[in-house]
Structure 1
C-alpha cells in the first residue's frame, strides 16, 4: 500500500516537473520567435525568401502551440486521474482498516465467549468426575462386600420399605410414585 502511494506521489511530482519544463520550453520558443520576428523586420520585407521562412516559422509555431495545448490538456487529465486513483486508494485502505478492526473486535468477543463456555464445561466436568468417583467407590465397596452381607443389606432395605409403607398407611400419608 505504501509503495503504491510512493509511486503515485512520484508520478505527481514528475508530472509537475514536466509541466514546469513545458512552460520553460514555451517561454524560450516565444523568445526565439520574437527574435526571429525582429530580425525579419530589419531585413527587407520584400525579400521573398525571408517571407517564406517567416511563414514556415509561423506555421511551425502555430503547430507547436497546438501540440503544447494538447499536451497541457493531457497533463491535466493525467493529474486528475492520478488524484482520483489516490483518493480511491485511500478510501479502500480506510475501508479495509475498518473492516479488519471490526473483524478483530468480533474475534475477541467470540474468544471471550469461548473462554466462558470452556470454564463452565470444566466445572461440569469436575462435578461429573466427582459423581463418577463416588459411584465407583460405592460399586467397589459393593463388589468387595461378601454375598452374605449383601443379601443381608438387601433384606434390611426390603424390610425397611415394608415398615415405611405400613406407617404411611397407618398415618394416611400418600405414597409418592418415585419411592418404592
Structure 2
C-alpha cells in the first residue's frame, strides 16, 4: 500500500478510529495521543498491509495494540510524585514512624488481627512469615500445597480487610488509565 492510498483509506475511517480510541481511553486528550500514535505506527508499517483485506479492522487492531502497550508501559513506570525529603527514612534505614511507641501499637494491632484469624489460616500464614516454603508447610501440616497457597491468600485478604477496618491501611484505589 502506498502512502497516498494509506492517507485516502485513513480519511474514510478516521472518525471511527478516533471514536474507538476515545472509547478505550475515556479521555479526549489521551484519545488524541493514542490516535496519533496508532496512525504513525500504521503509516510506518503500511507496506505490510495486504491489499484486499479490511483496512478498518487492521487499523483498529493497531489502535487496540497501541493502547495495550501504553497501559503496560504506564504500569511499569508508575512514579511517586512526592518530594524525596518525605522518603529520607528509606535512604537512612530508619523507621518511618516518628516514635517507637506508635510502632509498638501498630505491631500490637497486627498481632490482634492475627489472633482473630481462623486457625486453619493463621498457622500456615505464621509458618510462611517465619520463612518456611510452601512445600515445607504442606508437609508439616499434611495438606496439599494448593490448599496452603489458597489459605495464605485468604489470610492475607482477611488481614488486609481487618487493617482497613481499623483505618491502619488506606483503602485500595482503582488504577487510572
TM-score band (shorter)?
A: under 0.3
**Quick one: higher RCO (CA 8 Å, sep 6+), 1 or 2?**
1
| Structure-1-length-normalised TM-score | 0.22
| Structure-2-length-normalised TM-score | 0.22
